[in-house]
Homo-oligomer: A and B are copies of this chain.
Amino acid sequence: MRQSTLFGRTLREAPAEAQTPGHRLMLRAAIARPLAAGLYTWLPLGFRVAKKVEQIIREEQDRIGAQEMEMPVLTPAETWKETGRWDALEPITFRTADHNGREFMVSYTHEEFVHLHAKQELQSYRQLPQIVYHFQSKGRDEARPRAGLLRAREFVMKDAYSFDADQTGLEKSYAAEHGAYERTFARMGLDAISVESDTGAMGGDVAHEFQVLTEAGEDRIAICPNCDYKANLEKASRSTDTYIAGATELPRPSEIATPSTTTIEALEASLKQPTTAFLKTLLLRDAKGTLVAVVLPGDRDINEAKLRKVLGTSEVKFANDGDFASAGSVPGFIGPIGLRVRTLVDRSVDGRPYIAGANKRDTHLRNVVKGRDFQGEQVDAHDVREGDLCPRCTVGKLSIKRGVEVGNIFAYGTYYSDKMNATFVAEDGTAKPFFGGSYGIGVGRAVQTIMETHHDEKGIVWPPQVAPFQAHLIALPVNDEDVRSKAEKLVDELERARVEVLYDDRDESAGVKFADADLIGIPLRLTVSARNLKQSQVEVKSRSAAAMEMVPLAFAAEKIAGIVRSWPR
């Protein structure tokens, strides 16, 4: 490929809107370009990377016996309605209708449709287990598309679906996909860790995410340095100390005058007590507008995803002043005693006497004790933080890292087959529901995550197995007849040896060409220059190392092909 006619122009500066190192490099190196917020075109360089990433994913799916197929982008509403997801997914999806008014969703995922197919194609237990997969464009109406390909509004996902006869089979399929994912990410140069995750809109109980730790990520992951516990904070828990009550009985609650003291911070300052001495009571509304109060220690925050899961709702919002009145309270002075509303008590709240709002203007109570003075459903809805104790080993202190979710796997069992009446004939002749799982990887997000984690100050440093080309041959100067003819001969020899070469035949300075080569980040840089040709040599430099090597021109193709063959695939 001649760089002079490559469709894609490198940029010296990234556009101001670029948010992360990978986002900046993606734009500068002409990997992809936005057409609109969150909608991207792969330019030829990026397209080549995306196809290599796709091929790695495909090979690992094929290795576990999964069959490739392809379901459409437009998916009919009536099938989504069978599982209730037509409404549930409304806030995050794009919809359309034909001229007869029949509605379709720009596909968000394909569980419903693969179950429709399974009903028709899989009739007997003898056809199980099965895994099918496809690569297909997905639409997500993200309110805030973020950081280029990390959170786009359209992207190609590989989604795989397993069908098993029972839970044991599902667990095997799930483990097979888990293994395939580990190999897949390792092959594309991503150090992805498997973490426990929330099942979100997918249903079911068991789910893992594959997270690549990088500051560019928007997820937060709790990691135990002492055991194998790793979890998204949307799911993470912690071990809590057991409070040992003193021998003497605790005094009853008593009022404290706290005029205009409506926040934990203000109470801390005026009462000279640590935040842990207070109870924080939040009054919230779920997606249907139902009120709920959540009680936490003063030093703890709600984890909204965990709370949504507890409530089985898609959204929680703060209550308004009228809600406080109907709950029997006052904004700024809310507390758990006597509250007329469903009350959830986070498990971080222990048996000690707390200071809490009195549900009365300008007043708090001291000596408020859980169980004795107020009741509530015990839940886990607080945000785990750095230094919390690991819930598994109860010894390690959790650290919190940022991560990009590059893949996720869900074991949802009969969640869809029950709703859609998707059954097969079991060995005993009865109709049984399929046990299913689904397994996703976003191609664009994987490509950008590779850039987020493989670059230096000069540009991208592609892992060889996903690089757009394997060698970048630079002719200097290109208008020197001898340089050009020898460069083109070497390109030809390399291509015959099946080395993928980007040939910089542009009439540009050495400075421009080397800067572009560093920016684009192809693993091997080969320089055919007038100076090197005096010794009949080619300069070979690895993008990931500083050292250069001079190789005799006559052996260059063979040597370079040998290096390329030695790379992992």
Given the interface pairs A106-B73, A106-B96, A106-B106, the reply to whether A9 lies near B39 with Cβ below 8 Å is no
User: Do the beta carbons of A7 and B141 come within 8 Å of each other?
Assistant: no
A74 within 8 A of B: yes
A126 within 8 A of B: yes
For A1-16 the 0/1 string (1 means CB < 8 A from B) is 1001111110000000
User: Do the beta carbons of B35 and A113 come within 8 Å of each other?
Assistant: yes
- Segment touching B, from A40-48, A235-243, A480-488: A40-48
User: Do the beta carbons of B130 and A7 come within 8 Å of each other?
Assistant: yes
A94 surroundings in chain B (CB, below 8 A): 74, 96-98, 104
A43 surroundings in chain B (CB, below 8 A): 69, 117, 121
A262 within 8 A of B: no
A69 surroundings in chain B (CB, below 8 A): 7, 41-44, 47
A71 within 8 A of B: yes
A interface secondary structure, majority? mixed
A106 surroundings in chain B (CB, below 8 A): 73-74, 96, 106
Q: CB within 8 Å of B: which of A418-473?
A: none
Give the docked Cα–Cα distance between A95 and B99 (Å).
10
Q: CB within 8 Å of B: which of A12-69?
A: 30, 33, 35-36, 39-44, 47, 50, 65, 67-69
A328 within 8 A of B: no
In this complex, what residue of B is CB-closest to A75?
A: B35
User: Do the beta carbons of A96 and B99 come within 8 Å of each other?
Assistant: no
A97 surroundings in chain B (CB, below 8 A): 94
Instruction: State the number of copies, please.
Output: 2
For A109-128 the 0/1 string (1 means CB < 8 A from B) is 00001001100111100110
In this complex, what residue of B is CB-closest to A110?
A: B41
Partner of A8, one of B98, B121, B141: B121
In this complex, what residue of B is CB-closest to A127?
A: B5
A154 within 8 A of B: yes
A47 surroundings in chain B (CB, below 8 A): 68-70, 134
In this complex, what residue of B is CB-closest to A507?
A: B126
A537 surroundings in chain B (CB, below 8 A): none
A274 within 8 A of B: no
A76 within 8 A of B: yes
User: Do the beta carbons of B33 and A117 come within 8 Å of each other?
Assistant: yes
A132 within 8 A of B: yes
A153 within 8 A of B: yes
A353 within 8 A of B: no
Q: CB within 8 Å of B: which of A119-156?
A: 120-123, 126-127, 130, 132, 134, 137, 139, 141, 143, 153-154
What are 5 A-B residue pairs whose CB atoms fall within 8 Å in the complex? A7-B130, A43-B117, A44-B69, A73-B73, A74-B139
Across chains A and B, which 9 residue pairs bring their CB atoms closest together, nearest first?
A: A36-B76, A42-B70, A44-B67, A94-B96, A96-B96, A41-B71, A39-B72, A72-B154, A98-B141
